[in-house]
């Protein structure tokens, strides 16, 4: 299987590791040390070698960091992980800190009132983070000191760096050649009077060169660095052993170097160099100095605006993926409550997805949380936590696949037996929020922060909310979480045609149940409307995900006529698109699951 159910970290391992780290801090003359969940490439996901935060603390969430001082070790986590962290860290050694409500600089000021030296690994912290933190600590007596990684000193069995082979990503899926991408972005560099651009994000390098890797589980990326010159040449800093089959694909325009030579090459650049301070490691920014032009990673926006081939590939992948999920839901409904566990569901779904010869991996570890586990937003089932699906439970099933032609991500909440009225009311509000976003037509130029409240309003009217963003960007056979676009109150990036995002409102009652409904959607130009402002460009969403929404959890009396119409039309489209792809037994189940409300 792609997914395992091993316990990857235990709370009892944290205290002795923390004591060893404090010993290293004392030897180094430091009063603190920062441990982010990051690697030198500054992507969201990390390889086993770079799971320093998890190894030290036990916390396995995909975002967060730890600040270790002499008498306290704060684990900073956002709203997605407030429940999870309580179960994963030794609370007598580590203190959960609600972030971003509590900022690191404020916490350090409180914990180090007399000042002190706080160490950090300059490869693992972005220049923008360090600049901001230093500014906010100015005058406090607290200094940030670059140093070797102290966790690596005590992690005796730290895994080796991944060295998996890289493959070419066919242009039929990419929709544009690597040479054309490099030429297009190089022209932008020349127009901005920039000599080159530094690219450290793995998915940006994969997109630019039309290649894919497997250095990070669930993400088809390879570790490396790149310099794009304004004449369209590329210096690629990646272990040659990964690229043995790619000389012809990369061609003469790409020169391969050992990763260790990246800093040397950066130092040799002349003129202005483009980079994103929010993803550029501090040590690289130090090499550039005043040559750094903080105009961003040039690949990020073009990568987010999918080509026609990428959109249609994603649409096709979603249909095949939807067929696998429908087969799973039909199978699950045939099982009696109390006979199936969360792991059974995960295994069955992966087996169904594996029937597709274009599947290369799952896009993240499947979240299958029943009852109280469903309230843990990023729950990962293990052999220790595996739970039977009982009558009256809700099952939150969040999963996806990495296919050659697209990346999928879908969540459905499923009633096991007979659901309660509170659960049905909350589910219906979540559904209303998802429908509101799906139906939206909005003026071009608006960002995620301008529209995400629309998906929360039905919950807000009931005094309810959820502690995660409404939606994230999604790659095209790349990272399932892709920037810069988000449906989030902190996202100022204008939504543009071709951007794929998730639409996933939810509701979580700790200790009781969780609810989330998620479709992927792509922004496209809105059709003309009679009487509309002729000069006002508008956008709409095209839905990519086609799987029934559990009618047993819907309180139809709460729906407006327009909401009913949308849901019935959606279910009609699910039937039309998915029915030809599934077994006779699943077809019979689908007929009932999509009946008109």
* Residue 65: both structure tokens together: 């960091």
Does one domain contain both 231 and 195? Answer: yes
DSSP 8-state assignment for residue 15: H
User: pLDDT category, 61, cuts 50, 70, 90?
Assistant: confident
Give yes or no: residues 415 and 540 share one domain: yes
β-bridge pairing 234-237 and 254-257: parallel
- Terminal CA-to-CA distance of the chain, rounded, Å? 38
* Domain harbouring 174, CATH code: 3.40.350.10
pLDDT at 524 (0 to 100): 98
Query: Which residue range(s) make up the domain with 196?
Result: 167-298
For residues 389 and 458, give the distance between their C-alpha atoms in angstroms, rounded to a whole number.
28
Do 147 and 186 lie in one domain? The reply is no
State the Cα–Cα distance between residues 542 and 498, nearest whole angstrom.
Answer: 10
Predicted confidence at residue 525, as pLDDT, reads: 97
Provide mean pLDDT across the span 208-213: 98
Question: Is 123 in the same domain as 192?
Answer: no
Claim to verify: residue 442 and residue 333 sit in the same structural domain: yes
Last residue within a domain, chosen from 114, 133, 154:
154
Residues 56 and 89 in one domain: yes
Is 567 inside a domain boundary? no
pLDDT in the model for residue 43: 82
Q: How confident is the model at residue 7 (pLDDT cuts 50, 70, 90)?
A: confident
Q: Which residue, among 391, 370, 392, 390, has the nearest Cα to 381 in the 3D structure?
A: 370
Q: Mean of the pLDDT values across residues 527-533?
A: 93
| Domain annotation covers residue 575 | no
Q: Are residues 210 and 149 in the same domain?
A: no
64 plus 200 within the same structural domain: no
Number of residues that make up the chain: 597
Q: Which tens digit of pLDDT belongs to each residue from 288-340? A: 999 999 999 999 999 999 999 999 999 999 999 999 999 999 999 999 999 99
Last residue of a domain, one of 535, 550, 565: 550
Residue 536 has pLDDT above 90, yes or no: yes
| Number of separate domains in the chain | 3
Note whether 290 and 391 are same-domain residues. no
- Please indicate, yes or no, if residue 144 is contained in any of the structural domains: yes
For the chain, helix (H) and strand (E) counts, in that order, are 20, 28
* Same domain flag for 371 and 292: no
Check whether residue 338 and residue 266 sit in a common domain: no
pLDDT, tens only, 242-258: 999 898 999 999 999 99
Least confident of 8-17, 35-44, 71-80, 303-312: 8-17
Does residue 159 sit within a domain? Answer: no
User: How far out from the chain centre does Cα 443 lie?
Assistant: 27
Residue 564 within a domain: no
- Mean pLDDT, the chain, rounded, equals 96
Is residue 578 in a domain?
Answer: no
Q: Is the pLDDT of residue 8 over 90?
A: no
Render pLDDT for 464-484 as a digit per residue (tens, 0 to 9).
999 999 999 999 999 999 999
Listed residue (574, 5, 583) closest to 328, CA to CA: 583
- Same domain membership, residue 329 and residue 458: yes
CATH number assigned to the domain comprising residue 375: 3.90.230.10
In a domain, 589, yes or no: no
584 within a domain of the structure (yes/no): no
- Of 78-82, 436-440, 516-520, which range is least confident? 78-82
Give mean pLDDT, residues 448-459.
98
pLDDT at 9 over 80: no
Residue 415, pLDDT > 80, answer yes
Residue after which a domain boundary falls, among 511, 532, 550 = 550
Residue 30, pLDDT score: 98
| 514 bridge partner residues | 508
């Amino acid at each position: 299987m792609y997914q395992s159910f091993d316990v990857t970290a235990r709370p009892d391992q944290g205290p002795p590791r923390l004591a060893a780290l404090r010993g290293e801090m004392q030897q180094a003359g430091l009063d603190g040390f920062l441990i982010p969940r990051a690697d030198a490439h500054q992507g969201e996901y990390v390889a086993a070698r770079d799971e320093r935060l998890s190894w030290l603390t036990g916390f396995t969430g995909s975002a967060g960091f730890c600040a270790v001082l002499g008498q306290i070790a704060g684990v900073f986590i956002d709203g997605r992980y407030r429940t999870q962290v309580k179960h994963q860290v030794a609370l007598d050694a580590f203190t959960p800190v609600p972030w971003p409500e509590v900022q690191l600089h404020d916490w350090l000021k409180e914990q180090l009132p007399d000042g002190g030296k706080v160490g950090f690994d300059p490869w693992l912290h972005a220049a923008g983070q360090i600049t901001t933190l230093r500014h906010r600590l100015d005058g406090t007596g607290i200094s940030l000191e670059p140093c070797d990684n102290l966790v690596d000193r005590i992690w005796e069995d730290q895994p080796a760096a991944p060295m998996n082979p890289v493959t070419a990503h066919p242009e039929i899926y990419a929709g544009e050649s690597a040479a054309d991408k490099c030429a297009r972005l190089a022209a932008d560099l020349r127009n901005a009077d920039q000599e080159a651009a530094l690219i450290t994000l793995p998915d940006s390098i994969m997109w630019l060169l039309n290649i894919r890797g497997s250095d990070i589980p669930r993400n088809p990326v390879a570790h490396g660095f790149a310099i794009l010159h304004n004449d369209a040449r590329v210096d690629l800093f990646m272990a040659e052993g990964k690229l043995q089959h790619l000389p012809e694909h990369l061609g003469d325009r790409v020169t391969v170097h050992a990763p260790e030579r990246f800093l040397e090459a950066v130092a040799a650049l002349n003129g202005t160099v483009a980079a994103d301070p929010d993803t550029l490691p501090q040590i690289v920014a130090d090499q550039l100095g005043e040559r750094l032009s903080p105009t961003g990673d040039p690949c990020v926006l073009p990568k987010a605006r999918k080509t026609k081939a990428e959109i249609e590939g994603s649409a096709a992948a979603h249909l095949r993926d939807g067929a696998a999920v429908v087969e799973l839901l039909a199978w699950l409904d045939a099982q009696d409550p109390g006979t199936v566990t969360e792991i059974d569901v995960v295994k069955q779904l992966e087996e169904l997805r594996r029937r597709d010869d274009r599947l290369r991996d799952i896009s993240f570890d499947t979240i299958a949380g029943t009852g109280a586990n469903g309230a843990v937003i990023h729950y990962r089932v293990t052999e220790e936590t595996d739970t039977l699906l009982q009558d009256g439970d809700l099952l939150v099933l969040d999963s996806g696949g990495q296919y050659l032609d697209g990346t999928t991500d879908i969540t459905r909440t499923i009633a096991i037996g007979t659901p309660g009225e509170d659960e049905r009311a909350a589910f219906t509000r979540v559904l209303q929020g998802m429908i509101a976003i799906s139906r939206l037509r909005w003026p071009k130029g608006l960002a995620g922060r301008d529209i995400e409240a629309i998906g929360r309003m039905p919950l807000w009217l009931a005094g309810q909310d959820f502690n995660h963003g409404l939606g994230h960007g999604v790659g095209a056979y790349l990272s399932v979480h892709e920037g810069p676009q988000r449906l989030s109150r902190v996202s100022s990036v204008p939504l543009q045609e071709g951007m794929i995002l998730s639409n996933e409102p939810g509701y979580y009652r700790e200790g009781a149940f969780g609810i989330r409904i998620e479709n992927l959607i792509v922004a496209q130009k809105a059709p003309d409307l009679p009487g509309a402002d002729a000069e006002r460009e508008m956008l709409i969403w095209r839905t990519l995900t086609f799987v029934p929404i559990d009618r047993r959890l819907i309180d139809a009396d709460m729906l407006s006529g327009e909401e009913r119409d949308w849901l019935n039309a959606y279910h009609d489209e699910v039937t039309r698109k998915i029915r030809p792809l599934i077994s006779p037994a699943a077809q019979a189940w689908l007929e009932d699951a999509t009946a008109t409300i």
